[in-house]
Structure 1
Amino acid sequence: MAATAHFDNIQKIVHIQARLVFYGSEATPEVARAVMEEINRMYNEPKAKVKVGEETYQVYFVIEYALLTIEETIRLIARNDDYLNNFIRLEKENIVTRSFMGFGLGDNVGHWIVSDQLGQSTTAAHEFGHGMGLDHPARLDYRGSGSPPPIMAPRGTLVDAEYQWDPAAKAGEVGGTMRPTHRRVTVEEIQQIVENITIRPNKSGYLGKLSNITFDEVGRPDSVLA
């Protein structure tokens, strides 16, 4: 996920901004708005204060969206050099049966499926994290932590019973793993995002990379969209 960062060195604030450009047969205003609201809410919820060098900055995320036709997307992505823009195809399903970002952490393209309950399940916020350069944590067992799992915890993570699909299930068995709706963005994850910012001499910065690859309907990289 490409993004721009703006540092206010007087008020000690960092604004991280990104635009999600949605296209595809399921790119509706309802889905786009729900995704945007989920990401903004979850990443601003911690009210994170993080270290930037020797200073402490408050971090704010400002995520917006645009809806384009496939033809409009082709024209824009062919000349895109703006780190604000990310291109997400929305469809019912794809060949990997899950939403994904493109080619490595920080990529600015993705193929998301509405069967992942985008905007209602934390999947959008999780994929946004991959776009911000966050990987799945090495830790896959959060039992005993007494707190929700982090947003980047993958499906199958072990958690305290209250955060399982079925609180009565035995850990690791059917129903005994993390229910994704319980994931929350942590201050530590936001610290990692800020550390990924490439800072320019004028104190602005950017995140991610611009592969500008398009996907066909089922999630295959394609120079000519289906």
Structure 2
Amino acid sequence: MKSPSQIADSESDQHTAEVPYRVHFYENCSQSPASWLVPQATLEIEEIEERGFHDRTHSPPIFTSPCVAAIGKDGKAIAMINYCGETIWNIFCSYVVPKHRRKRIHSALFEALREKGLQQGNIVSINCMTHVNNLAAQAAFEAQGRTKEYIMYTYPLKDRSDAKEPTVGEMRMPEYLVEPFDTGPDGLKGMQAFINEKTAEGYELHQAIERSTYQWVLIFKLEPDRA
């Protein structure tokens, strides 16, 4: 019997003229065939961001959240999208094996995720972030109908290419979280409760951006003692 993390939708087979594959949802990425893509994605992200990590060896992050993956005929994953959240799904890692790019596989995965969110009924938004240098990802996101809503700025005070090994917190928890929030009838009281929840998870409020009367964008930063 398959575990919950191995349950797949057998009717979600997709293919192109060049590569047949199946779209599968997994509850735990680390226990899925897509887990081998995580270190590949990490290395590529580092190169795009030009952070100087190329000569530093360290363990890749461990993603235990859900993912949707494209599985080839040989049973090996060729693409994935990792996501998490309750009413808002945040995509924190997506990757397609280089030789299978430009074949709409990533778009097929996003469309499958979108349909799953619509069927689930309580998902109000699917959000993601990418580096300013990743023009290919930005073009792909806009082609999929995603809307650019905010831009994050950073001011580095230290070069991280110092051969310092990442901590367990860095490997398991992203440094920043960007969470859209609608105060609704509860007003700022509801927002404070949400901020308290994130604080309990190890994040502190970094910035609050008011978009309209009720809609905000909250940016959380991993607390120093969790880094």
Whether TM exceeds 0.5 here: the answer is no
Higher fraction of helix: 2
Shorter-normalised TM range: under 0.3
Higher relative contact order (CA 8 A, sep 6+): 1
TM-score (norm. length: structure 1): 0.24
TM-score (norm. length: structure 2): 0.23
